[in-house]
Amino acid sequence: MSTTGFPKSLEDAQAFDAADPLAAHRKAFSMPEGVTYLVGHSLGAAPVKALKQANTTAGTDWACDIVGSWNTADWINLPQTTGAKIAPLLGVAPDEVIVCDSVSLNLFKLASALLETGRHKRRLIVEREEFPTDQYMIAKLAGLVGAEHVHTDAGGGLASLKDGGVLVKSLVDFRTGHIADLGAHEEAARASGGAIIWDLSHATGVLDLRLADWGASYAVGCTYKYLNGGPGAPGFIYVSRDKQNELSTPLPGWLGHANAFAFEDAYTPADGLKRFISGTPPILSLATLNAALDVFEGVNQAHLQAKANRLGDMCLHVFEKLGLASTSPPVGSSRGGHVSVCHPEGYAISRALADQGIKTDYRPPDTIRFGLSPLYLSYSEVWSALDTFRDILARETWRDPKYQVRSTVT
């Protein structure tokens, strides 16, 4: 048994659990019985405190004080107070993050705002195989405002950035878990007068992010994966303080106005990031997210990343022994919180796993993703899940026709 490296047996896994500084955090979540939940990279499990808050926001704040809760429950400041809770997870200051709308819309806002500063070439760069929303938003924005649209091959963003412009780039690839070289990209941006909007959707809450130290100025991200904010919880925007007031949102709404309750005919942006709020935010979702973030109190982010990596190594080691390919970075290297494994019958296998209580997800054409959320998974339960996976392959359980039927959402 060893607690260096990663577990290679059930006994190893149990030893890692015994020494796990994050083990106590599992009880902060409401986990269903009999389920090993490996889809935290898609929708995080529910923190107990978030469920309680959903109940309070609806059943007390809305039902009793109704519109008065904008003041008494401080709904009006939730975009800022929630952003301030995300900020330490990015390694930035509390007033450098705001929560509003979705990651898709926030990308549009930041990309448009960066073009409008006039500081960068009017070219918008995005890679193929990037998360779809990022590709669609950038293509459309370029067309609408007449900017050059550079749709490079996967991995081609860095080279293209050397000619300037604004690059949208996921820090962690949604299929493979590969972490982009942030430093090299920011260096290229500085050299060319370009800018980068980092999409941190698959990175926040699982990597030890230090955006300020790393010199990144702009980012967006979602909050329902490793941040466990609840289904469709609103997205966030990060802009370093020195850059905030030079940005103009393309989607100016009344709640982002400097003086919203004066109901003025002309738009004056609020100071700082508040300008990126457009309409009234979905308070039930936002207040629930706000409470969900409290599970990160006292958590050392380096522990999160180390545990996710060890769990990933453990999975990849098993995949390798089974002779299965993975598109994820190999054993021993750094990656996001999920690992992929390729099998032509990936869809059916993921369904067979689900039938035995092991939830994973499938991404076409042939990839199963194992999400390894370090706050609520134990080494031994992931080990057991890998045992079941081996068993399904050995017995070819996935051949059962019932596992071939597709659901709407995969």
Binding to a second copy in span 112-151, by CB under 8 A: 112, 128-129, 131-133, 135-137, 139-141, 144-146, 151
165 binds a second copy per the rule CB under 8 A: no
Task: Please give the angle made by the CA atoms of 136, 142 and 143, to the nearest 5 degrees.
Answer: 90
Asked if 333 and 6 touch (Cβ cutoff 8 Å), the reply is no
With 0-12 / 13-18 / 19 or more C-beta atoms within 10 angstroms meaning exposed / middle / buried, residue 68 is exposed
Site for a second copy in 211-250 (CB under 8 A): 222, 224, 230-235, 249-250
Out of 16, 29, 108, 131, the active site residue is 131
Catalytic site residue 199? yes
- Look-up of token digits 């490079």: 152
| 356 vs 337: CA distance, rounded Å | 22
Q: Name the residue nearer to a second copy (CB basis): 30 or 384.
A: 30
The DSSP secondary-structure symbol of 278 reads -
Site for a second copy in 325-354 (CB under 8 A): 354
- Pairing type for strands 97-99 and 123-127 reads unpaired
Catalytic site residue 37? no
Q: Which of 10, 15, 76, 93: binder of a second copy (CB under 8 A)?
A: 76
| Span of 189-197, 260-268, 311-319, 331-339 interacting with a second copy by CB under 8 A | 260-268
Catalytic site residue 122? no
381 binds a second copy per the rule CB under 8 A: no
Binding mask 79-118 for a second copy (x = CB under 8 A): ----------------------xxxxx--x---x------
298 binds a second copy per the rule CB under 8 A: no
Q: Which of 160, 288, 290, 373: binder of a second copy (CB under 8 A)?
A: 288
Catalytic site residue 27? no
Out of 49, 85, 175, 225, the active site residue is 225
Q: Which stretches of 297-345 are DSSP H helices?
A: 301-321
Q: Which of 19, 118, 265, 344: binder of a second copy (CB under 8 A)?
A: 265
Binding mask 23-62 for a second copy (x = CB under 8 A): -------x-x----x-x--xx-xx---xx--xx-xxx-xx
Q: Which stretches of 231-330 are DSSP H helices?
A: 241-244, 283-292, 301-321
Catalytic site residue 307? no
| 13 vs 273: CA distance, rounded Å | 44
Q: Which of 15, 251, 270, 299: binder of a second copy (CB under 8 A)?
A: 251
Cβ within 8 Å of residue 59, ≥6 positions away = none
155 binds a second copy per the rule CB under 8 A: no
Asked if 301 and 374 touch (Cβ cutoff 8 Å), the reply is no
Q: Name the residue nearer to a second copy (CB basis): 96 or 173.
A: 173
- For residues 303, 306, 312, 313, the Cα torsion angle rounded to the nearest 10 degrees is -140
Query: Helix, strand or coil for residue 349?
Result: helix
Secondary structure percentages of the chain, helix, strand, coil, to 5: 45, 15, 40
Q: Which residues are annotated as catalytic? A: 131, 199, 224-225, 369
